[in-house]
Amino acid sequence: MLVNIAFALALNLFDMLLRATLGTGPFVTLYGLVMLVPGIAVSIRRLHDTDRSGWWLLLGCIPLVGLVLIWFFAADSNGGTNRYGQNPKLVIA
């Protein structure tokens, strides 16, 4: 996440320079669109680790109620297995 934020900030600075000279800077928007699908996938995987459906992610569309997602993402994974598979903390390669 830290690398993602650092890269987005660097692109934002680059876009600001381009806007000052050329009047346009599309790189932050393109990066956001590219990272949209992996971000959704990681969020759904985290919800599955806590034995919740990926549909809970839609709570983020509701102002203030969507803050419940922070609680879900910060919660510890369920011990053992759940309906979405084995706890990733227990998998030994």
Alpha-carbon distance 40 to 4, whole Å?
14
What's the pTM value of the predicted model, to 2 decimals?
0.76
pLDDT number for residue 54: 92
- From first to last of its 93 residues, what are the pLDDT tens digits of the chain? 899 999 999 999 998 888 888 777 788 889 989 999 999 999 999 999 888 999 999 998 998 988 999 999 998 887 778 888 887 777 665
**Every domain of the chain and the residues it spans:** 2-86
Alpha-carbon distance 79 to 53, whole Å?
17
Gap between the terminal Cα atoms of the chain: 24
Residues 48 and 57: beta-carbon distance below 8 Å: no
